Amino acid sequence: MTRGKFITLEGIEGVGKTTNVEFVKQHLQKQGISVVVTREPGGTLIAEKIRDLLLQQNSESLSEQAELLLVFAARAQHIKHVIEPALLQGNWVVSDRFTDATYAYQGGGRAMKTSAIEWLEHWVQGHLKPDLTLLLDAPVDVGMARAKARGGSDRFEDERNSFFERVRRAYLLQAELYPERIKLIKANQPLIDVQHAMVESMRVLLR
């Protein structure tokens, strides 16, 4: 059986990842492709419990090192129980965030050492990398205004705009480092234009 493809959507808060994950799924299904949609952190019972620890405000503060380790603990479960089995069965996997988010949020936002993230990435993922990453990009003030409008902020969304400026810069650096894999999509344009750009970026996988 032919191994499936792995597509991830990335970006700061409020750029429309959730909406566009659904669009990507529907677009692929129209091509006759079986699709598994998932998210990070999360995707499995244990990984979703870790997600709650990461996103909820707690009386005990979470250290930066603990945050990074929890992210990769959730990812290890996610890869073993969802991503790899789905790909091996020939399904295409579409994930709302993956490891680029760790380089952006923990590496950029929290200023964690890139070498630590790289080591954990290699240990947890081995050679697993997305075949395509759609990076939805918008100015921080635009993204945060959208995020606040939907309500229900979490521990990350409560960070200052300066945090998200660092996250955005780290995302853009990832796009510069891996231009063949990461396709930059301007998310502050009309939705129809955003989705047209996404379709164009996916063409290479659909040949």
Q: Is 18 known as a binding-site position?
A: yes
17 is in an annotated binding site: yes
Q: Is 90 annotated as a binding residue?
A: no
Do the annotations mark residue 44 as ligand-binding?
no
Residue 11 is labelled as binding a ligand: yes
Distances from the Cα of 159 to the Cα of 17, 85, 148, 166, angstroms: 19, 35, 12, 11
Distance CA 199, CA 23 (A): 10
Task: Establish how many alpha carbons lie within 13 A of residue 195's alpha carbon, considering only the half-sphere containing its beta carbon.
Answer: 15
Q: Is 109 annotated in some ligand binding site?
A: no
Q: Which residue has the tokens 């998210």?
A: 39
Task: Collect all residues with Cβ–Cβ distance below 8 Å to 44 and sequence separation of at least 6.
Answer: 77, 78, 81, 82
What is the widest separation between alpha-carbon atoms in the chain?
Answer: 51
- Cβ-proximal residues to 124 (8 Å cutoff; 6+ apart), any chain: 72, 75, 76, 79
Residue ranges of the binding site = 11-18
Residue ranges of the binding site for ATP = 11-18
